[in-house]
Amino acid sequence: MAIEFNTIDNFDIEGKTVLVRVDINAPVDPILGVILDDTRMKLHSETLKELSDKGAKVVVLAHQSRPGKKDFTTLEQHTNALSKNLNLPVQYVDSIFSETTKNAIKNLKNHEILLLENVRFFSEELINKPSKEQSKTLVPQNLYPLIDIFINDAFAAAHRSQPSLVGFTPLVPSAAGRVMEKELKIIQNAFDNMEHPCVFVLGGMKADDSIDVMENVLKNGTADFVLTTGLIANIVILAAGFNIGKVNKKFIKDRDYCYLVKKSKKLLKKYGSKIVYPKDVAIENKEGRREDVSINKIPNYSIFDIGIESIKEYAKIIRGAKTIFANGPAGVFEEPQFAMGTEDILNAIASSKGFSIIGGGHIAAATTAMGFENDVSHVSSGGGACINLLSGKKLAAVEALKESANTIKRTKK
């Protein structure tokens, strides 16, 4: 794969002030307010430690949740978690571009690391616009005169076109951090060196994104089979002409996904048996227990997993694949009685000989929780970014990095 953006290797960073956008958004206990998982801190530690070791003055910009949510909070705790993972002291300032912040950045010494406040405390951060427009917003305008280089390592947020992600690239030399670089290389190389049969396992709740992926990978010939689970499976089963029960139809309607049923009908007509949907599903019956039923006779109870016969069929297809992409859990895996589909599919992926990529988000959490993270080829850190790539869409933050690299080339000429 030809790299079209700069990386850390393209710059001499000793003594330079380097602003690094990371994604250390973490689950927070709603009662105790403590961080429950520091996985993303571990991931970004490679980039931050390398920059510090090379003598950079490192300024870190990040977000936590969004306004209105219970876990929308300061990054004070993240400072301690980051420091622990880096085994280095991390300073913290409780603002984004106040005079206190600016002085803290100016006073940084080589090898030191400073974490700024939650960038989403500033309202402009939640607006998506092109990079040139975002470069005129207050966060980039206030911080760029203080920095020499911008590094974007936030792959998990790369599909967003927000000020802290794209606003610095028109203003200062910019590069991808190690997490961003690794994610893009692995996913692109998987596409460039595709081995068949190639199987996509699509599930979870983001039905619109997943059906975009389905359409893209079938249209371009990437996928030999698309195995549907979760809400996507319910939509496809309905599109195939089966009655999924009023409660499940209402669930689809309430999310304004009726148009996806029509779209799925067209895809089924065009691609036929390449789109695989469950032959049986698991419902929660009136006793509150799991019950596996044929799609020919689904009662009016919520569907929470794919059925046992479907699990067997899916596992057989997966084990025969040479390339596997999986995004989204098969059901409500948080409930032990409905975790079977997700667990058995992940077990099949882990035990297959094929190259496998697990999308981020819930499927990544399930992979780790079930102990399969070391048995798959790659667990992505970004669900939304990964699924956007798979559906053939461009990532705003990556395009901004490419444009920055091209600008530097033109300037040198």
Spell out the domains of the chain, with CATH numbers in brackets: 8-183+394-412 (3.40.50.1260), 196-353 (3.40.50.1260)
For the segment 351-407, what is each residue's pLDDT rounded down to a tens digit?
A: 999 999 999 788 888 898 889 999 999 999 888 898 888 888 899 999 999 999 987
For tokens 């699509």, the residue is 202
- The pTM of the full predicted model, rounded to 2 decimals, is 0.89
Binding-site residues for substrate, please? 23-25, 40, 63-66, 120, 160
For the segment 198-244, what is each residue's pLDDT rounded down to a tens digit?
A: 999 999 888 998 999 999 999 999 999 999 999 999 999 999 999 99
Whether 411 has a pLDDT exceeding 60, the answer reads: no
Q: pLDDT value at position 408?
A: 62
Burial class (CB in 10 A: 0-12, 13-18, 19+), 273: exposed
For the segment 281-299, what is each residue's pLDDT rounded down to a tens digit?
A: 999 998 989 999 999 999 9
For the segment 38-54, what is each residue's pLDDT rounded down to a tens digit?
A: 889 999 999 999 999 99
Binding-site residues, please? 23-25, 40, 63-66, 120, 160, 334, 360-363
Binding-site residues for (2R)-3-phosphoglycerate, please? 40, 120, 160
Binding-site residues for ATP, please? 334, 360-363
Q: With contact defined as beta carbons under 8 Å apart, do 329 and 359 qualify?
A: no
Instruction: Name the percent of the chain lying above pLDDT 70.
Output: 98
Please enumerate, as own/partner, the contacts of 251-254 that have beta carbons within 8 Å and a separation of 24 or more.
251/302
Q: pLDDT value at position 409?
A: 57
Q: Report the C-alpha gap between 264 and 138 in whole angstroms.
A: 43
Q: Report the C-alpha gap between 54 and 74 in whole angstroms.
A: 29
Spatial neighbors of 354 by CB under 8 A, at least 6 apart, are 195, 199, 318, 321, 322, 323, 324
Tell me the DSSP string of 102-119.
HHHHHT--TT-EEEPP-G
For the segment 111-136, what is each residue's pLDDT rounded down to a tens digit?
A: 999 999 999 999 999 999 999 999 99
pLDDT band at residue 245 using 50, 70 and 90 as cut-offs: very high
Whether 410 has a pLDDT exceeding 70, the answer reads: no
For tokens 């069929």, the residue is 313
Q: Report the C-alpha gap between 337 and 186 in whole angstroms.
A: 34
Q: pLDDT value at position 2?
A: 60
Q: What letters, b where the CB count within 10 A reaches 16 and e where it falls short, cover 334-364?
A: eeeebbbbbbbbbbbbbebebbbbbbbbbbb
Whether 258 has a pLDDT exceeding 60, the answer reads: yes
Q: pLDDT value at position 251?
A: 96
Smallest Cα–Cα separation from 292: which of 247, 330, 338, 252?
Answer: 338
Tell me the DSSP string of 166-209.
HSSTTTS-EEE-HHHHHHHHHHHHHHHT--SSEEEEE-SS-HHH
Whether 412 has a pLDDT exceeding 50, the answer reads: no
Number of Cα atoms under 13 Å in the Cβ half of residue 240: 20
Q: pLDDT value at position 407?
A: 79
Q: Report the C-alpha gap between 389 and 391 in whole angstroms.
A: 5
Average pLDDT over the chain, rounded to an integer: 93
For the segment 3-42, what is each residue's pLDDT rounded down to a tens digit?
A: 789 999 999 999 999 999 999 998 888 777 788 888 899 9
Spatial neighbors of 39 by CB under 8 A, at least 6 apart, are 26, 368
What's the mean pLDDT in 318-337? Answer: 94
Q: Report the C-alpha gap between 230 and 330 in whole angstroms.
A: 5
As a whole number of Å, the CA-based R_g of the chain is 23
